Amino acid sequence: MKKGFFLCILLFCSLVSFQQVNSTYNLMPVPRELKSHGGRCAIDERFRISVSGNPDPRLYAEASRFVRRMGEKTGIFLDKQGYVTADDRNPAATVAITVKRPGKLELNENESYSIEINDRQALVIAETDLGAIHALETLMQLVSNDEQGYYFPGLTIHDEPRFAWRGLLLDVALHFFPVNSVKRTLDGMAAVKMNVLHLHLCNDQGFRVESKVFPQLQKTASDGIFYTQEDIREIIRYAGQRGIRIVPEFVVPAHTTAILTAFPELASVKRKYTLQRYFGVFDPVLDVTDPKVYAFLDKLFTEMAGLFPDAYFHIGGDENTGKDWENTPHIKAYMKEHGLKAYMDLQTDFNRRILPILKKNGKTMMGWDEVLQPGVPKDIVIESWRGKEAYYESVKRGYRAILSNGYYIDLIQPTDFHYLNDPAPAEAMLSPEELKNILGGEATMWSEMVTPETVDSRIWPRTAAIAERLWSSGDIRDVPDMYRRLDIASLELETLGLTHMTYREAMLRRLANSYDTKALKVLVDVIEPLKIYERNQGDTMYTVFSPFTKLADVTGPDQPLPRSFCNLVDEFLKNPNPAQEKKINDQLTKWKENHDRFLQTLRNSPVLKEAEILSQNLSALASSGLEAMAFIHQHKSAGNSWLAEQMEILEKSKQQGGRCELQVIEPIGKLVKIASGSGKANVGSQDMLTAR
Active-site residue list: 319
Q: Is 272 exposed, middle or buried (0-12, 13-18, 19+ CB in 10 A)?
A: exposed
In angstroms, the Cα distances linking 562 to 523, 540, 584, 598 are 11, 29, 12, 19
Where are any strands of DSSP class E within 611-678?
660-662
Tell whether the torsion through CA atoms of 217, 246, 455 and 65 is positive or negative. negative
Q: Taking the C-alpha atoms of 137, 141, 142 and 145 in order, what is their torsion angle to the nearest 10 degrees?
A: 140
Q: Is 396 exposed, middle or buried (0-12, 13-18, 19+ CB in 10 A)?
A: middle
Tell whether the torsion through CA atoms of 119, 125, 129 and 132 is positive or negative. negative
Between CA 208 and CA 360 the distance in angstroms is 24
Q: Which amino acid is at 661?
A: E
The residue among 449, 443, 459, 444 whose CA lies nearest residue 496 is 459
DSSP helix/strand/coil, 312: strand
Between CA 239 and CA 245 the distance in angstroms is 6
Between CA 584 and CA 664 the distance in angstroms is 12
Are the CB atoms for 573 and 683 separated by under 8 Å?
A: yes
The residue among 34, 38, 29 whose CA lies nearest residue 14 is 34
Q: What is the CA radius of gyration of the chain?
A: 28
Between CA 635 and CA 689 the distance in angstroms is 10
What DSSP character marks residue 122? E
CA 56-61-63 angle, 5° bins: 95
